[in-house]
Amino acid sequence: MDTMQLYNSLTREKEPFKTHEPGKVSMYTCGPTVYHFAHIGNLRSYIMEDVLEKALRWEGYDVKRVMNITDVGHLSSDADTGEDKMVKGAKRENKTVMDIAKFYTDAFFADCEKLNIKYPDVVQPATGMIEEYIKTITKLMDTGYAYFAGGNVYFDTSKLKKYYVFNDHDAEDLQSGVREGVEEDPNKKNKNDFVLWFTKSKFEDQALKWDSPWGVGYPGWHIECSCISMKYLGEYLDIHCGGIDNAFPHHTNEIAQSEAYLGHPWCSHWFHIRHLNTNSGKMSKSKGEFLTVSLLEEKGYEPLVYRLFCLQSHYRRALVFSWENLDNAKAAYDKLIARVGAITDEGEKDETAMKPYREQFQTALDNDLNTSLAVTALYDVLKSDLNGASKRALIASFDEVLGLELIPQAMARKEKESAAPAGEDTAGIEALIKARAEAKAAKNWAEADRIRDELKAQGIELIDTKEGTTWKRA
Ligand code: AMP
Ligand code: ZN
């Protein structure tokens, strides 16, 4: 423990990762805005945050991770203009905002499960915290950090010693998080003041509204994350994560209001993931054209292939997606699994011989979460002359962080291969397995059991695993 060097966006340096309480990490992640499916760019951020969490756990920290679900208040521009994204999503699909929120929250976590991203210890939808926002905003009003103008409550950025915390560029350069062509809000005293509570916006059809001391309205996006983090993780946050686009204005505003509220520094470490881009630019939900995990699956890629694709490059470098690059990751993943599957069970674990490989792996993680070097450590184990038991133990250990499911996948594939006598046409069996999976998804248990019995009568035994169902001859 205490050996990890991580880049901190706040200090713009790689530095030893320190926690407020020894051995414990409080970690906050900006969750998805649930008005559409997550695209694989969003999921790059969540995969790398998952690897960070697992690396910290692997090194012995007790991690508590909290994530919000943005189901209100995130406007089309990350600043305070445009329509609420949730309302836009509801209109697009002719459903209520809450229906949309539930559907896309479930879809998000289903994608996470496929990518082996751990479910956070706490997941808090923004709509469930209205009282906390009101309490925090009331204190900001009472202490002069917030003001009421034109029906909305704004944070007064001029009250801070330093507002632009993430870099030294001048104010103009920092407008990248704000879309071009956005109208100025005449109620703001300073250009970067931001809304804490809306009662008036151009869009009168905001679906969800709550009573407040300032009138019926809804919270701004930024206050959500500050309040959710402080409620579950207290006054001192060890690490806050998100995609790089969140650094400004979202995280900058989170820091402004949290520190003004608390009266002391709040979060010591900021972990930002660069974007996944396509050749035509950044992948974005609002453009409506984006790649999802389901699409990758339809095209025949296992989701974990995409996880490996992400691990092969560093989180602080922009990553360009192309089908060719994904094909390379697929080939690498298939080969890895075949190699893991080929490890024999001979020997006893030899801890002394294993030690340098563990150290190599840890050094990679400690070097600003260098996942591609961590994957190299895995290849080095496979290439080594360690006995089978030691190799398997190291691979299982590394995979606690990498999350590639190497041993279970290798076992599932081997069982599949040994199940089919050479030349046997297995298409009929596979079709029945698929039909059973569909019956189970539709909660038609009787039909699922009938199919299992039909296969049993043919001498086929089904094995249900996390990765899906395989079979063998009974
Ligand atoms: P959103 O659902 O839009 O609130 O975004 C969810 C997360 O994905 C945030 O942490 C964003 O910073 C991150 N994100 C958005 N676009 C990308 C991208 N193209 N590549 C990587 N992360 C992204
Ligand atoms: Zn946030």
Closest-CA residue, ligand 1 atom 3, reads 33
225 CA distance to ligand 2 centroid (A)?
A: 5
- Average pLDDT, rounded, for the chain: 90
- Among 33, 39, 45, 84, residue to substitute to test ligand 1 (most atoms within 8 Å of Cβ): 45
Task: Using DSSP bridges, classify how beta strands 194-198 and 13-16 pair: parallel, antiparallel or unpaired.
Answer: unpaired
Q: What is the pLDDT of residue 181?
A: 44
What are the CA-CA distances from residue 413 to residues 116, 214, 283, 335, 421 (Å)? 18, 61, 33, 12, 14
276 CA distance to ligand 1 centroid (A)?
A: 9
- Among 42, 49, 221, residue to substitute to test ligand 1 (most atoms within 8 Å of Cβ): 42
pLDDT single digits (tens) 304-320: 999 999 999 999 999 99
HEC per residue, 422-462:
CCCCCHHHHHHHHHHHHHHHCCCHHHHHHHHHHHHHCCEEE
Q: What is the pLDDT of residue 468?
A: 67
5 CA distance to ligand 2 centroid (A)?
A: 24
pLDDT single digits (tens) 9-44: 999 999 999 999 999 999 999 999 999 999 999 999
d(CA 452, CA 462): 7
Say if residue 279's pLDDT is above 60.
yes
41 CA distance to ligand 1 centroid (A)?
A: 6
Is 47 in contact with 305 (CB distance < 8 Å)?
no
Per DSSP, the chain holds a count of helices (H) and strands (E) of 15, 16
- Helices marked H in 234-367: 252-262, 293-298, 303-311, 323-341, 351-366
Name, in order, each residue with C-beta under 8 angstroms of 252's C-beta and a sequence gap of 6 or more. Answer: 163, 164, 165, 166
CB atoms within 10 A of CB 450: 14
Tokens of 311: 């691990």
- CB of 44 closer than 6 A to ligand 1? yes
Closest-CA residue, ligand 1 atom 23, reads 42
- CB of 29 closer than 6 A to ligand 1? no
Closest-CA residue, ligand 1 atom 15, reads 42
The confidence band for 288, taking pLDDT boundaries of 50, 70 and 90, is low
- CB of 276 closer than 6 A to ligand 1? yes
Q: What is the pLDDT of residue 87?
A: 80
Q: What is the pLDDT of residue 208?
A: 83
Q: What is the pLDDT of residue 177?
A: 43
198 CA distance to ligand 1 centroid (A)?
A: 24
86 CA distance to ligand 2 centroid (A)?
A: 16
CB atoms within 10 A of CB 468: 12
- CB of 243 closer than 6 A to ligand 1? yes
223 CA distance to ligand 2 centroid (A)?
A: 8
d(CA 197, CA 183): 19
- CB of 252 closer than 6 A to ligand 1? no
Measured from the CA of 283, which atom of ligand 1 is nearest?
Answer: 19
283 CA distance to ligand 1 centroid (A)?
A: 9
d(CA 26, CA 35): 28
- CB of 282 closer than 6 A to ligand 1? yes
The confidence band for 185, taking pLDDT boundaries of 50, 70 and 90, is confident
Name, in order, each residue with C-beta under 8 angstroms of 180's C-beta and a sequence gap of 6 or more. Answer: none
Cis bond upstream, residue 213 (ω within 30): no
The closest ligand to the CA of 242 turns out to be 1
Closest-CA residue, ligand 1 atom 7, reads 42
Say if residue 427's pLDDT is above 90.
no
pLDDT single digits (tens) 386-400: 999 999 999 999 999
- Among 29, 245, 252, residue to substitute to test ligand 1 (most atoms within 8 Å of Cβ): 245
> What is the enclosing helix (H) or strand (E) of 394?
helix 388-402
365 CA distance to ligand 1 centroid (A)?
A: 23
- CB of 275 closer than 6 A to ligand 1? yes
The predicted model scores a pTM of 0.86
- CB of 390 closer than 6 A to ligand 1? no
